[in-house]
Chains A and B, each alone.
Chain A
Amino acid sequence: MSLAQFKNRNVGSQSYVTLDVGKPPQGGWCKFKQVAKRTFKGELFVGLWVVFRNMLQALFKNDMHTVKYPLEKMPISPRYRAIHDMLRLLESGNYRCIGCGLCEKICISNCIAMDTRYDEEQRKEVSEYTINFGRCIFCGYCAEVCPELAIVHGPRYENASEQRAGFSFFEDMLTPIDKLNLQQEYDGFGAISPNADENIKKTPLAY
């Protein structure tokens, strides 16, 4: 198809292909023939077979769609934007955040509040860091702007609670120090999901 065809906005003047559904039956005898043809065509049995085949596949080939949600979870994409995680440096175990304040600046819903000070060695230290999850719209700008890959979006999407403040303490979002070896590096926006290979399907060009 050439570009000119796509640029043609005059809907209705394109060369649409009409579906060949045939002419409606004329007269009683033709109508009767159509009814008889449709009756003995056995299309209803095709329908029966389709659902029965599905049942066989579900029962004997273990091809169920059900995910027993609280017990089983689907792998989510690394691009998913859930409750934030604060990552640590793998070598020292310190948090990566350098207190630059970029995330606070860029946050479009003004939900990040941070305070920094100089410690004894004149290094910048984060003294306060909270995200108000009542306001956060999970846009992902904070993670995108972070120069140290310190604040990222984690996989914790189950955030129904009486107090969303419980999610927002810096210590809660920080990787626990004893689980440092389990810390997942952030693949970033545009990364593929862990089960991407299974999800690949042939492009349906055949029809």
Chain B
Amino acid sequence: MEATHLLPEVTWVGVLIKTVIILAIISALAGFGTFIERKVLAFMQRRLGPMHVGPYGLLQIAADGIKLFTKEDIIPQNANKLIFMVAPLITAATAFIALGAVPVFPDFTVPDFIPFIGGTFVPSIASDLNIGILFVLGMMASGLYGPLLAGMSQANKWGIIGAARTAIQFLSYEVITALAILAPVMLVGSLSFVDFNMYQSGGVSSWLIWQQPVAFILFLIAGFAETNRTPFDLLEHEAEVVSGYATEYSGMRWGMFFIGEYANMITISVIAAIVFLGGYDASSSIGWLTIMLKIAFFFFLMLWVRAAWPHVRPDQLMWFCWKVLMPIAVLNVLITAIIVLL
């Protein structure tokens, strides 16, 4: 914690600037993520992907955005209108609130020549909570209300099934996430991301993935389930439930679900990178580049897995969670606890 005392004081202006940066960049990145996903999936199937809007299809995001914003916002007749309208906001909002407590971009000081806000110190974490991990996991868990309420409010049977799957999937895998991350938390003895980063500042050999390989794999699996990514994307599995909880959604409300999903992917990538892969190196100038690479790798891994692996059935998902992963997670916590005590 010594290094943080050397940093300038965090003012509310800095936090505000940071919030705007997170909102602007992450929602742009979420849009960009859809482009990257389409490109990577296309390459893995030896296709070109989007090519015609802008150079290499780069402006496809803009085209998608225009489409989403101008599309008619349909609210079904028998839907519970208020809940139907609020549900996408829950997904997007919780995803961004979760990002408020993780270090996303390097800290910097606004140059002096910019009027009004010149000289303001912008921290890397919008809100450096001492229970950072707990807060982020809690926020991501409460994000399940988005798909759940969306599915239940839309008076559509596919939506109901999607909502039911949301409940079983998120509730099951929340347990795994928590148990998996509990073991590193016991080793580090703190819930703050900064402490995790400090604990692993001794180079590659000090990364927690070497001490906690099982927890890392468990966290990754649970992270895929929590971000609703492919082996576990039962919520909106097109072949079975049309679009699950998002069946009746159109336009920007549908888009918000996806911005939330991609923001959650980024959050999970950040947590995995900081908790298990050493995080950022605050002392050197390329330290932030390394965490960006780690985050990019996890993001790529999610797309990669989507291209390679098939879905699982809901019963397989539950079986895998409760009968395989949870015993392993509990054993891992137990063994870690014994080692820490000794």
In the complex, what residues of B have CB within 8 A of residue A48's CB? 304-305, 308-309
In the complex, what residues of B have CB within 8 A of residue A52's CB? 44, 304
In the complex, what residues of A have CB within 8 A of residue B44's CB? 51-52, 54-55, 58
Which of B45, B48, B309, B324 is the one whose CB lies under 8 Å from A54? B45
In the complex, what residues of A have CB within 8 A of residue B308's CB? 44, 47-48, 50-51
Complex interface residues of chain A between 66 and 113 (CB less than 8 A to chain B): 66, 68
CA distance A118 to B294 in the complex (A): 84
CA distance A143 to B47 in the complex (A): 38
Contact B309 A64 (CB under 8 A): no
Chain B residue nearest to A45 in the complex (CB):
B308
B46 CB–A CB distance under 8 Å: yes
Complex interface residues of chain A between 34 and 63 (CB less than 8 A to chain B): 35, 44, 47-48, 50-52, 54-55, 57-59, 63
Contact A55 B309 (CB under 8 A): no
A65 CB–B CB distance under 8 Å: yes
Chain A residue nearest to B305 in the complex (CB):
A48
In the complex, what residues of B have CB within 8 A of residue A63's CB? 46
Chain B residue nearest to A67 in the complex (CB):
B48
In the complex, what residues of B have CB within 8 A of residue A54's CB? 43-46
**Distance from A67 Cβ to chain B, minimum over Cβ atoms (Å):** 10
Chain A residue nearest to B307 in the complex (CB):
A51
**Distance from A55 Cβ to chain B, minimum over Cβ atoms (Å):** 4
In the complex, what residues of A have CB within 8 A of residue B45's CB? 51, 54, 65
Which of B40, B51, B305, B324 is the one whose CB lies under 8 Å from A55? B40
In the complex, what residues of B have CB within 8 A of residue A47's CB? 308-309
Interface range on chain B: under 10, 10 to 19, 20 to 34, or 35 or more?
A: 10 to 19
Provide the main secondary structure of the chain A interface: helix
In the complex, what residues of B have CB within 8 A of residue A44's CB? 308-309
**Distance from B302 Cβ to chain A, minimum over Cβ atoms (Å):** 12
CA distance A50 to B40 in the complex (A): 14
Given contacts A48-B304, A51-B304, A52-B304, contact A58 B309 (CB under 8 A): no
Chain B residue nearest to A50 in the complex (CB):
B308
Which of B47, B304, B305, B309 is the one whose CB lies under 8 Å from A65? B47
Contact B48 A66 (CB under 8 A): yes
**Distance from A18 Cβ to chain B, minimum over Cβ atoms (Å):** 26
CA distance A50 to B307 in the complex (A): 10
Contact A59 B47 (CB under 8 A): no
**Distance from B279 Cβ to chain A, minimum over Cβ atoms (Å):** 25
In the complex, what residues of A have CB within 8 A of residue B51's CB? 68
CA distance A52 to B300 in the complex (A): 11
CA distance A58 to B307 in the complex (A): 14
CA distance A55 to B47 in the complex (A): 9
**Distance from A37 Cβ to chain B, minimum over Cβ atoms (Å):** 14
Contact B46 A64 (CB under 8 A): yes
CA distance A48 to B324 in the complex (A): 22
**Distance from B300 Cβ to chain A, minimum over Cβ atoms (Å):** 10
Chain A residue nearest to B41 in the complex (CB):
A51
**Distance from B52 Cβ to chain A, minimum over Cβ atoms (Å):** 8
Contact B47 A66 (CB under 8 A): yes
CA distance A65 to B46 in the complex (A): 6
Which of B40, B48, B304 is the one whose CB lies under 8 Å from A64? B48
Complex interface residues of chain B between 215 and 238 (CB less than 8 A to chain A): none
Please indicate which of the listed interface residues B40, B46, B48, B305 has the most CB atoms of chain A within 10 Å of its own CB: B46
**Distance from A51 Cβ to chain B, minimum over Cβ atoms (Å):** 4
Complex interface residues of chain B between 164 and 198 (CB less than 8 A to chain A): none
Please, could you name 20 A-B residue pairs with CB atoms under 8 Å apart, sorted by A?
A: A44-B308, A48-B304, A48-B308, A50-B308, A51-B44, A51-B304, A51-B307, A51-B308, A52-B44, A54-B43, A54-B44, A54-B46, A55-B40, A57-B46, A58-B46, A59-B43, A64-B46, A66-B46, A66-B47, A66-B48
Q: Which residues on B are within 8 Å of A, measured CB to CB?
A: 40, 43-48, 51, 304-305, 307-309, 324
Q: Which residues on A are within 8 Å of B, measured CB to CB?
A: 35, 44, 47-48, 50-52, 54-55, 57-59, 63-66, 68
- What 19 additional pairs, Cβ within 8 angstroms, besides A48-B305, A57-B46, A64-B48? A35-B324, A44-B308, A47-B309, A48-B309, A51-B45, A51-B307, A52-B44, A54-B43, A55-B40, A55-B43, A55-B44, A58-B44, A58-B46, A58-B47, A64-B46, A66-B46, A66-B47, A68-B48, A68-B51
